[in-house]
Chain A
Amino acid sequence: QVQLQESGPGLVKPSQTLSLTCTVSGASISSGGYYWSWIRQHPGTGLEWIGYIYYSGGYYNNPSLKSRITISVDTSKNQFSLNLYSVTAADTAVYYCARAETTVPTYWFDPWGQGTLVTVSS
């Protein structure tokens, strides 16, 4: 059974960098066949796709965030990570990691991590 778990600080100061890691268990990222994704949910609102990465390192980002994010993968640790730069209060959200299965070019997300709330505040 594939499981994903987000980890990282729950509080980030404005203008700083939000860094999260997703640890995958029950499957190997380096096996290929899936994309590994970040999705966020602002308080009380809907879901926003952030981006996804393949085990080889190629990734795709939401254009609305593209200039502020990097996504990376560490196959030796079976983890992938998100860095979101120059955060503001508008980046306060629950951040989820998820596995993306694809029949190109469409993707669906399953399973999801439990999510981690990140608050941007001084």
Chain B
Amino acid sequence: QSVLTQPPSVSGAPGQRVTISCTGSSSNIGAVYDVHWYQQLPGTAPKLLIYGNSNRPSGVPDRFSASKSGTSASLAITGLQAEDEADYYCQSYDSSLSGSLFGGGTKLTVL
């Protein structure tokens, strides 16, 4: 089964650094396929945060960074701010699915 696994929740105090992991398999992250990240603020549509493993679209603060290694990827947020409280999703292509696959999402709570 094609799955991207994320922790259900993470938390951190303002100013701290948090990371969110995304674990896949050889049919998605572990293959040649890139990982992308989205931020979904409460009551809104998801917004692209990172594309192509580590690229930030224009307007995304450099407090957000991401990387990929093997069958996993991670999103890091430094200098945590209250406005970062949201759900975060990873996404990749899966060759078994022949389409796009999302992680289950991680709820970030800013303490």
Contact = CB atoms under 8 A, between A and B. Distances in A.
Indicate the size class of the contact surface on chain A. Answer: 20 to 34
B61 interface: no
Interface in B14-58: 33-34, 36, 38, 44-48, 51-52, 57
Interface stretch (A13-21, A71-79, A103-111): A103-111
A106 B102 contact: no
Contacts of B98: 60, 63
Q: Say whether chain B's binding surface is mostly helix, strand, loop, or mixed.
A: strand
A49 B92 CA distance: 11
Given A106-B93, A108-B36, A110-B57, A49 B45 contact: no
Contacts of B105: 45-47
Interface residues of B, number: 25
B91 A112 contact: no
Given A106-B93, A109-B91, A47 B46 contact: yes
17 contacts: A45-B104, A46-B102, A46-B104, A47-B38, A49-B101, A51-B99, A60-B98, A105-B33, A106-B34, A107-B100, A109-B91, A110-B48, A110-B57, A111-B48, A112-B45, A112-B46, A115-B45
Given A46-B89, A109-B36, A111-B47, 5 more contacts: A51-B99, A62-B99, A106-B36, A110-B47, A110-B57
Interface of A: 37, 45-49, 51-52, 60-63, 96, 100-101, 103, 105-115
Interface of B: 33-34, 36, 38, 44-48, 51-52, 57, 89, 91-93, 97-105
